[in-house]
């Protein structure tokens, strides 16, 4: 891996990357930054969590000048969470060059955004709909624009933003530098590239490089009615510091949250129907450790980057392999260990095999712990916590009270009572979660890609998408 010194970037950006703890470039950064620094258009196929924000952010910030006014750089993202996340990282990267980035997204008061725009930020990070609102009001003008980035382009097209994106790109100067990043490369993305990019260089991070090496991956085969009890047993056994539970629909998210609350778990939920203030409150509690469990839909969790997440639970199996990689990428970050658990219905086993083939990794099957195993596991965790308190010397103030108690009861009886009080025993309060009847596993959703362009690209041959073979990066020809 290259270091950031080798890219020939400014001292201000070296200082910023060092302060952020960056030591070596990630695979996508190593490939993208040198090409982008030359001003060439890029199509990058990479997942969230691979370091792509810095991959496009460093060249973008290098190109911006504080004295040239607004808006010199534009990043378009599918969700408000990702917009905020990207803007935060760009502000950190640009702090010593005095390059300011502003997130613009729906759900936040537009008056507040209008006021922030008066500070003339050099970079705007926006969701398509709200960006179009500001453009129609003539509050954001693109005549100074030199760099445009489409982040998670496939997700934006899936969410129906294609027309907005085309309108925005049509308004941008034709001599701009354009970068597009996408987890997948479907035909609409290829069409977009042909129309709005100038001979872009194609770079791809191989699947084996984007799976999460620090994350244990398991699955449990269960029936729908068994899912929630199995989830609760694992939560009790694992005792996660911070966990995300993924469900397929907003209704499922709400029902899981209600069920968890009934059984005494500290949980919050995030999905598309929440107001922005509520979403901000939920995320603040989760990041600060006030809430231990976050229940989320895939779209709502896009762009979340919380280093403290120790466990991910796929209550519903992801609808495609890319979503699986995205979900489990929420844990095992920055070299930390993580655990990813997926609940699989019998009819979903073929879909699980598809995910395994795509990520090139076997997901280990495990048995759902019994009630007795869960209780013993909780007792073991409590005993470990007691021993940790002794080891850290945090019990000294309680020794006198302990001696007094020993005069009225035996040491084993007192310790047993302490274990009982501190152990979270399984709560069997009845709950109701509606079965998801409207979803069925896709029938080999990437089979065509496996047979055609994907393998052809690996072999370096020309595919229908117009890629020309090179070892690490390729030209995407305009036709």
Q: What is the pLDDT of residues 418-441, one digit of tens each?
A: 877 877 777 788 888 888 766 666
Q: How confident is the model at residue 461 (pLDDT cuts 50, 70, 90)?
A: very low
Cα–Cα nearest to 44, from 178, 163, 159, 157: 178
Cα–Cα nearest to 436, from 348, 368, 327, 364: 348
> Where is average pLDDT lowest: 170-179, 191-200, 228-237, 415-424?
415-424
| The pLDDT of residue 280 is above 80 | yes
Assigned fold of 4-209+452-475: Rossmann fold (3.40.50)
Please give the share of the chain, as a percent, with pLDDT higher than 90: 47
| The pLDDT of residue 2 is above 90 | no
Query: Please, what is the angle between helix 162-171 and helix 128-136, to 10°?
Result: 40
Q: What is the pLDDT of residues 329-382, one digit of tens each?
A: 888 776 678 999 999 999 999 899 988 887 888 899 999 999 888 888 888 888
Query: Please, what is the angle between helix 371-391 and helix 411-422, to 10°?
Result: 110
Total Cβ atoms within 10 A of residue 74: 25
pLDDT score, position 335: 65
Q: Is the CATH number of domain 212-370+428-445 3.40.50.300?
A: yes
Asked if 31 contacts 204 with a C-beta cutoff of 8 angstroms, the reply is: no
Q: What is the pLDDT of residues 79-108, one digit of tens each?
A: 888 898 899 999 999 999 999 999 999 888
Asked if 42 contacts 65 with a C-beta cutoff of 8 angstroms, the reply is: no
Length of the chain equals 479
Of the two residues 422 and 11, the one the predictor is more confident about is 11
Q: How confident is the model at residue 462 (pLDDT cuts 50, 70, 90)?
A: very low
| The pLDDT of residue 467 is above 50 | no
pTM of the shown model: 0.58
Question: CA–CA separation, 189 vs 187, rounded Å?
Answer: 5
For the chain, give me the number of helices (H) and strands (E)? 20, 15
Segments of the chain assigned to CATH 3.40.50.300: 4-209+452-475, 212-370+428-445
């Amino acid at each position: 891996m290259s270091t950031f010194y080798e890219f020939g970037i400014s001292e201000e950006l070296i200082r910023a990357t060092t302060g952020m703890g960056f030591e070596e470039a990630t695979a996508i950064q190593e490939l993208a930054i040198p090409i982008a620094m030359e001003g060439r258009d890029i199509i990058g196929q990479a997942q969230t969590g691979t370091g792509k924000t810095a991959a496009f952010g460093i060249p973008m910030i290098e190109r911006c000048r504080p004295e040239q006014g607004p808006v010199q750089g534009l990043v378009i993202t599918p969700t408000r969470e990702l917009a905020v996340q990207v803007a935060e990282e760009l502000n950190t990267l640009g702090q010593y060059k005095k390059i300011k980035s502003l997130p613009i997204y729906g759900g936040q008061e537009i008056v507040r955004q209008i006021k922030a725009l008066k500070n003339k930020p050099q970079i705007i990070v926006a969701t398509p709909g709200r960006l179009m609102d500001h453009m129609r009001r003539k509050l954001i003008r693109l005549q100074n624009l030199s760099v445009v980035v489409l982040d998670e382009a496939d997700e934006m097209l899936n969410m129906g933003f294609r027309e907005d994106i085309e309108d925005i790109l049509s308004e941008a100067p034709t001599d701009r530098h354009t970068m597009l990043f996408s987890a997948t490369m479907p035909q609409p993305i290829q069409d977009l590239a042909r129309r709005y990019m100038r001979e872009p260089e194609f770079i791809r991070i191989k699947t084996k490089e984007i799976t999460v090496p620090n994350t244990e991956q398991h699955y449990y085969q269960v029936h729908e009615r068994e899912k929630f009890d199995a989830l609760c047993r694992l939560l009790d056994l694992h005792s996660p510091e911070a966990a995300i539970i993924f469900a397929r629909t907003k209704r499922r998210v709400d029902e899981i949250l209600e069920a968890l609350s009934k059984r005494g778990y500290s949980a919050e939920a995030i999905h598309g129907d929440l107001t922005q203030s509520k979403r901000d409150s939920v995320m603040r509690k989760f990041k600060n450790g006030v809430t231990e469990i976050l229940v989320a839909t895939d779209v709502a969790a896009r762009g979340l980057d919380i280093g403290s997440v120790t466990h991910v639970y796929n209550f519903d199996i992801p609808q495609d392999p890319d979503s699986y990689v995205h979900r489990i990428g929420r844990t095992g970050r920055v070299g930390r260990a993580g655990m990813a658990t997926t609940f699989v219905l019998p009819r979903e086993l073929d879909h699980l095999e598809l995910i395994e083939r795509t990520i090139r990794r076997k997901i280990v099957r495990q048995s759902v712990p019994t009630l007795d195993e869960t209780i013993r596991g909780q007792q073991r965790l409590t005993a470990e916590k007691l021993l940790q308190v002794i080891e850290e010397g945090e019990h000294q103030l309680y020794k006198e009270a302990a001696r007094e108690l020993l005069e009225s009861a035996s040491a084993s009886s007192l310790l047993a009572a302490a274990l009982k009080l501190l152990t979270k025993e399984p709560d069997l309060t009845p709950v109701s979660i509606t079965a998801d009847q409207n979803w069925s596993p896709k029938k080999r959703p990437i089979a065509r890609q496996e047979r055609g362009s994907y393998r052809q690209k690996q072999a370096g041959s020309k595919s229908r998408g117009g890629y020309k073979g090179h070892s690490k990066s390729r030209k995407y020809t305009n036709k």
